[in-house]
Amino acid sequence: MNQSNTMKEIPSVERPYEKCVEMGPESLTDIELLAVFLRTGTKGENAVELAKRILYDSGQNGILGIHHFSLPRLLKLKGIGKVKAIQILCLSELAKRLAKASAKEHLRFSSPTSIADYYMEDLRHESQEVMKLLMLNTKAELICERNISKGTVKASIITPRELFVEALKQEAVSIVLLHNHPSGDPTPSADDRLITGRIAQAGALVGIDLLDHIIIGNHCYMSFREEGLLENA
């Protein structure tokens, strides 16, 4: 596509808006979908060309790269001002919320698969490890959740005392630990096993059961409960 082409110079069948009307949104490429959100391009570059540069020419790897942009990084891209940057960030957040809302219909805290599905989009795009504490009532329903660590999940950083102070404050009767591996591989590390063992033992003393520790990878997960590792914790 010639860089001097404006959207009006592109045949109507190739323009994202017209193409969507005639053939439906499913007919649009990832680049065209993003172009619809951007609406306009910049000097010497139409919306489709700008979308292509954002998704592929800025070091991203296609549509999933949207989740890894921050506001400062977007503002460094030529042709991206504050309005377009906010549009892109909101698009990423909307995609996560849609996926989470869909997974919520099947969410059961007695099911590691449903828990992993529900939190997958929240965690699999994180560039750092984030550990969540899920606190449950007597019916295994969520009372609340807290992020208890961000950065590196290490046994020396996460102490059972702080965790159970929060759980007792919320009158939880059981808890689930959940964290991600940015590498995409959910295989538990030595620290993951050590943390799980310490918290399971502390929970037994204070009467709050650790139901599971789930590690989120890239579209995959590992459950200590499913693997029979809680019994040996």
Higher local confidence (pLDDT), 233 or 35: 35
What is the per-residue pLDDT across 159-184, written as a single tens digit (0 to 9) for each? 888 889 999 999 999 999 999 999 99
Res 189 pLDDT > 50? yes
- Predicted confidence band at 102 (pLDDT cuts at 50, 70, 90)? confident
**pLDDT given at position 58:** 65
Q: From CA 13, how far away is CA 98, in angstroms rounded?
A: 29
Average pLDDT rounded to a whole number, residues 19-46? 89
Q: From CA 148, how far away is CA 168, in angstroms rounded?
A: 15
Res 220 pLDDT > 80? yes
Q: What is the pTM of this model?
A: 0.67
Residue 223, classed as helix, strand or coil, is strand
**pLDDT given at position 100:** 76
What is the per-residue pLDDT across 41-95, written as a single tens digit (0 to 9) for each? 888 888 899 999 988 866 767 887 888 888 999 999 988 999 999 999 999 889 8
Beta bridge partners of 221: 216
Res 9 pLDDT > 60? no
- Residues in CB range of 11: below 8 A, 6 or more apart: none
Average pLDDT rounded to a whole number, residues 24-32? 90
- Residues in CB range of 228: below 8 A, 6 or more apart: none
Phi-psi region of 140 (alpha: psi -120 to 50; beta: other; left: phi over 0): left
**pLDDT given at position 153:** 63
The H-or-E segment that residue 145 falls in is strand 142-151
Q: At which residue do the structure tokens 């009767």 appear? A: 173
**pLDDT given at position 14:** 62
> Do the strands 221-223 and 209-216 form a parallel or antiparallel pair, or are they unpaired?
antiparallel
Res 122 pLDDT > 50? yes
